[in-house]
């Protein structure tokens, strides 16, 4: 499925010139916009995915104000010296083109799940969630200019060209280095383990088929089952039972629902089944465990 970036904005004073130049590669979408700016044009932007904004060309003045809240004063900066901004997913950005009359810019939108899968990399969330506003980096700017030129090229080169440029820019932006040590043989990659555990814990109250977990991680059922146990010390089914027990614990401490109701709510066939799994997992019956924490 092609990645479709989702943007929400509330802006005024901008008029798009010409057509949007867009190219899509595996997990990355590049947009090149040319925009006329009225005095103090600006507004709010928010994207569902991380994105990079790069000023390629501007006319008029050089001053713009970028901030993360409408209440911030922000800092008026010179786009020609600090033309790049990285904005994490779901983070609001407020921008005002104070005296700029025209701007041509590149927007890069990143699908982190797809990129992590391609890089076979357990991506550090810290740089992903840290905004970097109005900074300068000659290598990133050079790559951005090449990407923009490819977007505008009426006869695009091979897809591997733009794909390589955008991945190289992402690696440079995130300062990705090779992992310090390979994972143990037979284990899941970090992204595979995170995706499987997240899916199990989100859907633990229903029957989860081994096939759907294997498909999520791109492995055969047998390979996934062995690799999951090598990574966690337990089979996928046992992890699901553990997730159900954690749900049950929260319900026992926060509600007055009877144990028979909790057993039904958390996917167990009956109270006896619930009690058996609870005792095996926790080391006490549900009633004794709750009594010890509420008396």
Please indicate, yes or no, whether residues 115 and 255 belong to a single structural domain of this protein: no
CA distance 184 to 68: 41
Q: Provide the residue-wise pLDDT of the chain in tens; the chain has 295 residues.
A: 567 888 888 999 999 999 999 999 999 999 999 999 998 888 899 999 999 999 998 888 777 888 888 777 665 666 667 789 999 999 998 888 888 899 999 999 999 989 988 887 767 778 888 899 888 899 999 999 999 999 999 998 999 999 999 999 999 998 866 555 555 568 888 889 999 999 999 999 999 999 999 998 989 999 999 999 999 999 999 999 999 999 999 999 888 899 999 999 999 989 999 999 999 888 889 999 988 887 6
Q: Rounded to whole angstroms, how far apart are CA atoms 197 and 179?
A: 22
Contact (CB, 8 A) for 169 and 141: no
| Burial class, 281, CB count within 10 angstroms (exposed 0-12 / middle 13-18 / buried 19+) | middle
E strand segments, the chain: 7-16, 21-25, 28-47, 51-60, 63-67, 75-78, 84-87, 93-97, 100-110, 132-135
Residues 135, 227 share a domain: no
CATH number at residue 68: 2.60.120.10
Same domain, yes or no: 155 and 247: no
SS3 for 120? coil
- DSSP state, 184? P
- 157 and 33 part of one domain: yes
Provide the CATH number for the domain around residue 272: 1.10.10.60
**Pairing outcome for strands 28-47 and 21-25:** antiparallel
The whole-angstrom separation of Cα 274 and Cα 245 is 8
In terms of domains, do 151 and 20 share one?
yes
pLDDT of residue 276: 92
Pick the closest to residue 174 from 243, 121, 102, 250 (CA basis). 121
Q: Are residues 118 and 241 in the same domain?
A: no
155 and 216 inside one domain:
no
pLDDT value, residue 66: 83
Domain around 244: 190-294
Based on the domain organization, do 11 and 68 belong to the same domain?
Answer: yes
Structure confidence at residue 200 (pLDDT): 94
Domain count, the chain: 2
Of 174, 205, 226, the position where a domain reaches its end is: 174
- pLDDT for 182: 52
């Amino acid at each position: 499925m092609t990645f479709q970036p989702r943007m929400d904005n509330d802006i005024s004073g901008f008029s798009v010139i010409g057509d949007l130049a867009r190219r899509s590669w595996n997990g990355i979408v590049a947009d090149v916009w040319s925009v006329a700016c009225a005095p103090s044009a600006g507004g709010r932007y928010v994207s569902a995915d991380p994105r990079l904004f790069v000023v390629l060309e501007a006319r008029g003045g050089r001053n713009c104000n970028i901030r993360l809240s409408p209440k911030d004063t922000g800092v008026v900066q010179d786009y020609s010296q600090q033309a790049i901004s990285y904005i994490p997913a779901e983070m609001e950005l407020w921008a005002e083109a104070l005296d700029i009359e025209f701007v041509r810019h590149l927007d890069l939108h990143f699908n982190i799940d797809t990129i992590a899968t391609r890089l076979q990399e357990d991506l550090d969330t810290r740089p992903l969630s840290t905004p970097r506003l109005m900074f300068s980096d000659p290598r990133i700017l050079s790559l951005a200019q090449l990407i923009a030129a490819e977007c505008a090229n009426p006869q695009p080169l091979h897809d591997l060209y733009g794909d390589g440029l955008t991945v190289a820019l992402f690696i440079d932006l995130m300062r990705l280095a090779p992992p310090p040590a390979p994972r143990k043989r037979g284990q899941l990659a970090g992204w595979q383990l995170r995706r499987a555990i997240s899916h199990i814990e989100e859907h633990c109250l229903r029957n989860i088929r081994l096939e759907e977990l294997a498909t999520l991680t791109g492995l055969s059922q047998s390979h996934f089952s062995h690799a999951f146990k090598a990574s966690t010390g337990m089979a996928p089914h046992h992890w699901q039972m553990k997730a159900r027990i954690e749900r049950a614990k929260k319900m026992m401490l926060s509600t007055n629902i009877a144990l028979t109701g909790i057993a039904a709510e958390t996917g167990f066939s009956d109270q006896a089944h619930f009690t058996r799994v609870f005792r095996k997992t926790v080391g006490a019956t549900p009633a004794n465990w709750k009594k010890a924490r509420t008396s």
